[in-house]
């Protein structure tokens, strides 16, 4: 009987212990705890805290994460240097001294909050609580206000909304709205930033304006700060290729290096001195600039911009100035001395920067605020010339943009579309309410994916026809121009390997395009997924390669317009129910005249990794640009590896370099996706690899055109030996690999 009573009491104690450490708790009182396998959950259910093991680690760590969010992302770790043994398990406890501790299986402390009082507040054992707040902050407090310790003061690699980042007086150029060196445009529109500098503390923090958006910042192992965003409206943030130019009045220090896009030597003034007895230096105003490095700068919060300029003119070492705060018309003075570094053009998110330059006879675009300055009074002739040229530039600017102003400002978007429709094509126009109903109010359940223009949703029209609806995103860098371009080009194209445009819709600020629905989504959805890639057998992949080639040949040669796509990549290759490829997304495409071979642009668009060298570095594009992108796609399809993710650390090579090395070492089949080894014809695989390498050669003139590519793929044309590809090393340079003496001959692998 006693034994039975003992058992019952023991079971009751276990039940009480379980109830006390239930996952529904958001706080712990003194002597309460949670064991490994149990969790704390914030009151709003957003955050959860418990023990976990990262990857293949055998240690257990106390961490905090978003409760119902995938992928699983740990936001904060307590015992990051002292894990608990996986076999013994761990316990998080608020001990009798009011200190949070983690105990291992031997009841030894491996981590603690290490605070018993703060700010003169004495900890009373039973009045101390530990709580996981709705912000993700684990706090140790007495009562509702007196916080003794908080996890926000000890961040790991993640910066959460509300966290303070500070105690460093060299935190960068804060202009009252944001750090000018932090150009994440789509996210800035959804966030509120704060920079506080007082006698007691200096810190930066951010808050989320759109509560449907989840965004944190993580410090990577390489020292980069990256944003992690969970949202239904995430914008694609593909990297851009940098281009350097010298400022007016400055020339490259090393022109030879500059001409081959090696810019590290920088620029220097045309005139050796910008100071002296005859001080005729002035300032050029550069708009939308990321401010230079502030390690050699000086600031004053009370001075205005005119006073700032005068002060800079008095010092021969002063090279530039700007406002410290751009709010409310601007205030404060920030001066730079000697050389300036790390200036960049950040459209929409930069600010005005005044660079000091010597005045020359042909250098008249000097912009100095404060018309009463002595310098300006003695240079009336310069001002007259400036006024004349300014007036001329305004007239030219207005005339060039007349059609755009007429379309965008004087008329609604539907009238712009109406003129476009009458002029270029007959395209069905859908009512916005129909598309709202078809997509279930653009439900996240219906979302198929997202590109540079915006998200794409599956829709079902009233007649039961399934469509794909591309909706413009407000945070997209693309807009009406790309919308019109897509309509004007793709509506005129008819080919089985091009996606079919069914109609469009413009409603107030909404711009939408309707396409035929592709049940198998895009190519990258399959080949870069470990499970789905197994469904793409060699016959499918070979058919996809041939279909893309036929589609490009039609664009380049067989359609009534010669079209350069400029954004060929796996995500823009859609797959129908039979896995047939269809090229999509013509928003960045351009047309060529019949005799035109090449064009040049200052605004590079597209996706890094698929860009050829001549476009990424010099802005030149042609049909051979699409050929290069096609070659990258071919090598991705064969290997199952993504160009932007693959890296061979042993040889410091990316995917192109890896394929090239295997080719010149007579091992081309090692490039093939291992899932295909038992179900492919090796001669076909090698022929495709050969064609892919010919397409990604460094020089455009060495690459075949698409008509030759199709003949090569069909085995109807001999293949020349490929030369080294462009951008094939790990760091993006084009260093040459010395081919082995046992070089392959094209005739060894061409199927007959």
Rounded Cα–Cα distance for residues 257 and 265 (Å): 8
* Segment among 165-174, 290-299, 384-393, 448-457 with least mean pLDDT: 165-174
Helix runs in 535-667, H state only: 538-553, 613-618, 623-639, 655-664
Inform me whether the pLDDT recorded for 648 exceeds 60: yes
Render pLDDT for 347-365 as a digit per residue (tens, 0 to 9). 666 788 998 886 653 433 3
Residues serving a catalytic function are: 567
Inform me whether the pLDDT recorded for 419 exceeds 80: no
Token pair recorded at residue 54: 């990262």
Rounded Cα–Cα distance for residues 195 and 124 (Å): 35
Is residue 747 very low, low, confident or very high in pLDDT (cuts 50, 70, 90)? very low
Q: Can you give the pLDDT at residue 612? A: 92
Is residue 499 very low, low, confident or very high in pLDDT (cuts 50, 70, 90)? very high
Render pLDDT for 242-281 as a digit per residue (tens, 0 to 9). 567 788 778 888 776 666 556 667 887 776 555 654 455 6
Q: Can you give the pLDDT at residue 401? A: 57
Render pLDDT for 113-165 as a digit per residue (tens, 0 to 9). 875 444 444 445 567 899 999 999 999 988 777 888 999 888 888 888 888 77
* Segment among 42-56, 172-186, 236-250, 441-455 with least mean pLDDT: 172-186
Answer yes or no: are the C-beta atoms of 63 and 89 closer than 8 Å: no
Rounded Cα–Cα distance for residues 700 and 746 (Å): 20
Rounded Cα–Cα distance for residues 307 and 313 (Å): 10
Q: Structure pTM?
A: 0.46
Answer yes or no: are the C-beta atoms of 451 and 471 closer than 8 Å: no
Q: Can you give the pLDDT at residue 142? A: 85
DSSP 622-654: EHHHHHHHHHHHHHHHHH---TTT--BTTTTB-
Q: Can you give the pLDDT at residue 17? A: 46
Inform me whether the pLDDT recorded for 558 exceeds 60: yes
Q: Can you give the pLDDT at residue 474? A: 76
Nearest Cα to Cα of residue 618 among 603, 607, 606, 628: 603
When pLDDT is averaged across residues 556-583 and rounded to a whole number, the result is: 91
When pLDDT is averaged across residues 27-32 and rounded to a whole number, the result is: 88
Average pLDDT, the chain: 78
Q: Can you give the pLDDT at residue 3? A: 57
When pLDDT is averaged across residues 687-714 and rounded to a whole number, the result is: 96
Inform me whether the pLDDT recorded for 691 exceeds 70: yes
Is residue 179 very low, low, confident or very high in pLDDT (cuts 50, 70, 90)? low
* Segment among 445-449, 590-594, 616-620, 679-683 with least mean pLDDT: 590-594
Render pLDDT for 423-451 as a digit per residue (tens, 0 to 9). 444 678 888 989 999 999 999 889 988 87
Q: Can you give the pLDDT at residue 177? A: 61
Inform me whether the pLDDT recorded for 572 exceeds 90: yes
Token pair recorded at residue 102: 């983690």
Q: Can you give the pLDDT at residue 115? A: 58
User: Which stretches does DSSP call E strand in 394-479?
Assistant: 447-450, 455-460, 466-471
Q: Can you give the pLDDT at residue 277? A: 46
**Residue 375: alpha-carbon gap to chain centroid:** 45
């Amino acid at each position: 009987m006693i034994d039975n009573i003992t058992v019952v009491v023991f079971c009751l104690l276990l039940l009480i212990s379980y109830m006390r450490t239930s996952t529904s708790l958001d706080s712990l009182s003194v002597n309460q705890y949670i064991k490994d396998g149990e969790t704390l959950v914030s009151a709003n259910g957003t955050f959860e805290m418990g023990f976990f093991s990262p990857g293949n680690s055998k240690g257990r760590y106390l961490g905090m994460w978003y409760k119902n969010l995938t992928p699983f992302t740990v936001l904060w770790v307590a015992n990051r240097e002292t894990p608990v043994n996986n076999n013994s398990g761990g316990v998080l406890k608020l001990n009798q001294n009011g200190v949070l501790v983690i105990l291992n299986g031997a009841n030894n402390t491996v981590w603690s909050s290490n605070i018993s009082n703060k700010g003169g507040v004495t900890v009373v054992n039973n009045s101390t609580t530990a709580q996981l707040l709705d912000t993700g902050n684990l706090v140790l407090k007495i009562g509702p206000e007196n916080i003794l310790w908080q996890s926000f003061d000890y961040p790991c690699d993640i910066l959460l909304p509300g966290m303070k980042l500070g105690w460093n007086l060299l935190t960068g150029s804060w202009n009252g709205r944001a750090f000018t060196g932090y150009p994440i445009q789509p996210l800035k529109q959804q966030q509120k930033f704060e920079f506080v500098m007082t006698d007691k503390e200096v810190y930066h923090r951010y808050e989320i304006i759109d509560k449907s958006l989840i965004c944190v910042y993580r410090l990577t192992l390489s020292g980069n700060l990256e944003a992690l965003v969970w949202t239904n409206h995430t914008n694609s943030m593909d990297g851009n290729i940098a281009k350097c130019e010298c400022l007016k009045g400055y020339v490259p220090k090393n022109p030879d290096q500059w001409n081959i896009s090696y810019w590290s030597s920088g620029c220097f003034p045309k005139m050796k001195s910008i100071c002296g007895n005859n001080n005729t230096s002035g300032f050029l105003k550069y708009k939308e600039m990321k401010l230079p490095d502030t390690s050699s700068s000086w600031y004053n919060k009370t001075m205005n911009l005119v006073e700032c300029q005068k002060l800079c003119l008095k010092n021969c070492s002063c090279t530039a100035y700007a406002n410290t705060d751009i709010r409310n018309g601007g205030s404060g003075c920030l001066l730079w001395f000697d050389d300036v570094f790390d200036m960049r053009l950040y459209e929409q998110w930069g600010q005005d920067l005044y660079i000091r330059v010597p005045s020359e006879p042909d250098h008249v675009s000097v912009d100095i605020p404060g018309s009463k300055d002595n310098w300006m009074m003695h240079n009336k002739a310069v001002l007259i010339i400036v006024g004349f040229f300014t007036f001329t530039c305004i007239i030219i600017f207005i005339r060039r943009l007349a059609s755009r102003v007429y379309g965008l400002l004087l008329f609604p978007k539907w009238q712009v579309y109406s003129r476009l429709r009458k002029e270029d094509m007959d395209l069905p126009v859908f009512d916005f309410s129909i598309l709202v109903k078809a997509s279930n109010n653009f439900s996240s359940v219906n979302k198929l994916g997202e590109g540079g223009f915006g998200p794409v949703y599956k829709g079902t029209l009233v007649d039961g026809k399934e469509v794909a609806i591309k909706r413009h995103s407000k945070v997209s860098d693309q807009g009406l121009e790309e919308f019109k371009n897509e309509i004007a080009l793709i509506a005129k194209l008819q080919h089985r390997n091009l996606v079919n445009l069914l109609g469009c819709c413009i409603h107030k600020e909404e711009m939408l395009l309707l396409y035929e629905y592709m049940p198998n989504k895009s190519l990258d959805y399959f080949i870069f997924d470990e499970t789905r890639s197994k469904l793409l057998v060699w016959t499918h992949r070979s058919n996809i390669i041939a279909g893309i080639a036929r589609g490009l040949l039609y664009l380049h040669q067989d359609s009534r317009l010669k079209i350069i796509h400029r954004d060929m990549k796996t995500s823009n290759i859609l797959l129908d129910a039979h896995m047939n490829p269809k090229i999509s997304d013509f928003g960045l495409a351009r047309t060529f005249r019949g005799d035109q071979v090449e064009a040049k642009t200052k605004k590079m668009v597209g996706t890094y990794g698929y860009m050829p060298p001549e476009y990424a570095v010099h802005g030149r594009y042609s049909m051979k640009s699409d050929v290069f992108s096609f070659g990258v796609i071919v090598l991705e399809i064969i290997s199952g590896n993504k160009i932007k993710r693959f890296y061979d650390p042993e040889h410091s090579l990316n995917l192109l370099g890896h394929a090239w090395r295997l080719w010149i070492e007579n091992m081309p089949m090692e490039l093939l996706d291992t899932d295909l080894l038992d179900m492919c014809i090796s001669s076909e695989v090698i022929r495709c690899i050969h064609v892919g390498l010919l397409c990604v050669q460094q020089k455009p003139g060495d690459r075949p055109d698409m008509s030759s590519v199709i003949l090569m793929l069909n085995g109807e044309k001999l293949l020349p030996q490929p030369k080294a590809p462009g951008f094939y090393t790990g760091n993006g340079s084009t260093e040459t690999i010395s081919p082995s003496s046992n070089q392959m001959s094209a005739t060894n692998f061409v199927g007959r």
